């Protein structure tokens, strides 16, 4: 009997909690923050640039190797193949590969970085960049990079794109 009463009371209190919280917020003049519809969007395409939508159109095939690792190879669509060896311009977020105030080699992410301990991007959502001159390290703002696009990934490295002779803007 006591156990049943405790369950009924706990259920009733749990049901009242959201209403009480909302009422308390109104009483002290605060409100809940607005709901953000979608913060997970790629960097905007710079004028005359290549979109992440196009780069993400590259498909992949995967298999599990002898050590149990999943490896993938790209399936480049014709529009992406047409960019191979050409200078393209793309925007994204820098992920440095070494410490320091400047970077000559880094990863350009199509989407904002989410976790410093886990690389969350699919192979068609990032580009390995090799710069002619070092870029200032900046992990918080979108940067624009131009470089010669190299299509890779046939070695099952997990890297589908590289920009060679890269420079800012």
Mean pLDDT computed over 31-43: 67
42 occurs within a structural domain:
no
For the whole model, what pTM was predicted? 0.74
Based on the structure, what is the number of domains in the chain? 2
- b vs e for 37-62, b when ≥16 Cβ sit within 10 Å of the residue's Cβ? eeeeebbebbeebbbbebbbebebee
> Residues 31, 56: one domain?
no
Structure tokens at 139: 């992990």
46 occurs within a structural domain:
no
Higher pLDDT, 109 or 116: 109
Q: What is the pLDDT of residue 6?
A: 41
Higher pLDDT, 130 or 114: 130
Asked whether the predicted pLDDT for residue 26 surpasses 70, the reply is no
> Residues 11, 80: one domain?
no
Q: What are the Cα distances from residue 130, in Å, to 28, 88, 125?
A: 54, 14, 17
88 occurs within a structural domain:
yes
Name the percent of the chain lying above pLDDT 70.
74
> Residues 29, 63: one domain?
no
> Which of 123, 132, 47, 149 shows the shortest CA–CA distance to 91?
47
pLDDT tens digits along 46-91: 999 999 999 999 999 999 999 999 888 999 999 999 999 999 999 9
Domain that holds residue 141: 52-168
142 occurs within a structural domain:
yes
> Residues 159, 127: one domain?
yes
Pick from 18-22, 31-35, 152-156: least confident: 18-22
User: Which residues are 151's β-sheet partners?
Assistant: 161
> Residues 31, 57: one domain?
no
- Asked if 126 and 161 touch (Cβ cutoff 8 Å), the reply is yes
44 occurs within a structural domain:
no
> Residues 17, 91: one domain?
no
User: Residue 113, Cβ neighbours under 10 Å: how many?
Assistant: 16
45 occurs within a structural domain:
no
**In sequence order, what are the residues at sequence separation of 6 or more whose Cβ sits closer than 8 angstroms to the Cβ of residue 33?**
none
> Residues 121, 74: one domain?
yes
Mean pLDDT computed over 155-160: 84
């Amino acid at each position: 009997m006591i156990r049943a009463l405790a369950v009924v009371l706990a259920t009733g209190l749990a049901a009242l909690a959201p209403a009480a919280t909302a009422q308390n917020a109104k009483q002290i003049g605060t409100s809940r923050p607005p709901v953000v519809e979608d913060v997970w969007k790629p960097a905007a395409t710079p004028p005359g640039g290549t979109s992440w939508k196009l780069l993400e159109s590259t498909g992949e095939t995967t298999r599990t190797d002898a050590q149990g690792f999943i490896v993938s190879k790209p399936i480049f669509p014709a529009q992406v193949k047409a960019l191979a060896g050409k200078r393209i311009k793309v925007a994204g977020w820098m992920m440095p590969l070494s410490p320091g105030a400047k970077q000559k080699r880094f990863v350009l992410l199509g989407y904002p970085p989410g976790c410093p301990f886990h690389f969350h991007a699919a192979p068609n959502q990032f580009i390995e960049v090799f710069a002619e001159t070092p870029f200032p390290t900046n992990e918080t703002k979108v940067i624009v990079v131009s470089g010669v696009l190299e299509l890779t990934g046939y070695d099952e490295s997990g890297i589908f794109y590289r920009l060679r002779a890269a420079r800012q803007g």
